[in-house]
Amino acid sequence: MNRPFLVQFGSYLWNLVQGDFGNSLVTGRSVWSMIKAAAPVSFQLGVLTVVITAVIAVPLGLLAGLRQNTWIDYTILGSALFLWAIPAYVAGPLLMVFLINFMPAGSIPYGWGALFDARIVLPLAVLAFQPIALIARQTRAAVIEVMNEDFVRTARAKGLPERVVALRHILRPVMTPVITQLGLIMITIINGAIFVELVFGLPGLGRLTVQSMLNSDYPVILAITLIGSFLVMASNLLVDLLYPLLDPRAQGGKA
């Protein structure tokens, strides 16, 4: 720390190229070992939350769009707006206080066991509330827009069953913006599930970030920021690679 700034910065970049993030100023441990222990927890939470969101929200949004201005549409849209209005730092403590009275002794949803441990159900529900609301609304809006396209009217004019029209002709182009949003949601959860990890005692990147900021542990903060930036770029690249599989029009006019 007593060296000139440019010398420190150059040394940090050189070590970074070699995969060395330095050591924690508080614990003295290797920063990489700390991140390697916390990242799998956040990554598993992010992936599972995105899967749950897609499985629940996409069918609901498709159904709401196909049944526009009916009681089904109003129920799904109203429920989505209700879930969207509940932030994670409110839903987490409230659900824990409410459900603790119905749980057997020793089954408090606190801490991390494994991906399919019962304690992960409540954190996943809290993390999925707002993404489900967002994806359901976005899917509904995209379905309503695609239903007015010529290829949908042509498919219906050919006498295809409504189920085939919905799944093969409407859902496929709708998934393009939805996949983009799901990728952003996953990165947001991995990098920013701070409140959920704190409330439920999950040893992920969010909790590590808070601890590092409170302790002014700059090497850990820098490493988490760099890894988060890399995940954003990797997610955007993956989404771009998936576009041609979902919508042939994204292949540059080959369809």
- pLDDT, one tens digit per residue, over 9-61 is 888 888 888 888 888 888 888 888 888 888 888 888 888 888 888 899 989 98
Length of the chain: 255
The token duo for 71 is 């009681």
**Contact between 186 and 50 (Cβ < 8 Å):** yes
Distance CA 224, CA 218 (A): 10
Averaged over 94-103, what is the pLDDT? 72
Of the candidates 167, 126, 131, the residue with the CA atom closest to the CA atom of residue 146: 167
Q: How far is CA 165 from CA 151, 168, 250, in A?
A: 10, 6, 21
Q: Which residues, in sequence order, are CB contacts of 166 under 8 Å at separation 6+?
A: 62, 66
Distance CA 136, CA 57 (A): 5
Of the candidates 87, 40, 51, 80, the residue with the CA atom closest to the CA atom of residue 190: 40
Amino acid at 200: F
Query: What is the set of domains in the chain, with CATH numbers?
Result: 37-244 (1.10.3720.10)
Burial class (CB in 10 A: 0-12, 13-18, 19+), 122: buried
pLDDT of 143 over the 50 cut: yes
Distance CA 200, CA 105 (A): 17
3-class SS at 34? helix
In 10 A of CB 195, how many CB atoms?
A: 20
pLDDT in tens, 171-196: 877 887 788 788 778 777 776 677 78
In 10 A of CB 19, how many CB atoms?
A: 7
Q: How far is CA 83 from CA 30, 44, 117, in A?
A: 40, 23, 25
Task: Please give the distance of CA 110 from its chain centroid, rounded to a whole number.
Answer: 21
The reported pLDDT for the residue numbered 28 is 81
* Longest CA pairwise span in the chain (Å): 78
Q: How far apart are the first and last CA of the chain?
A: 59
pLDDT in tens, 57-86: 989 988 888 888 889 889 988 888 888 888
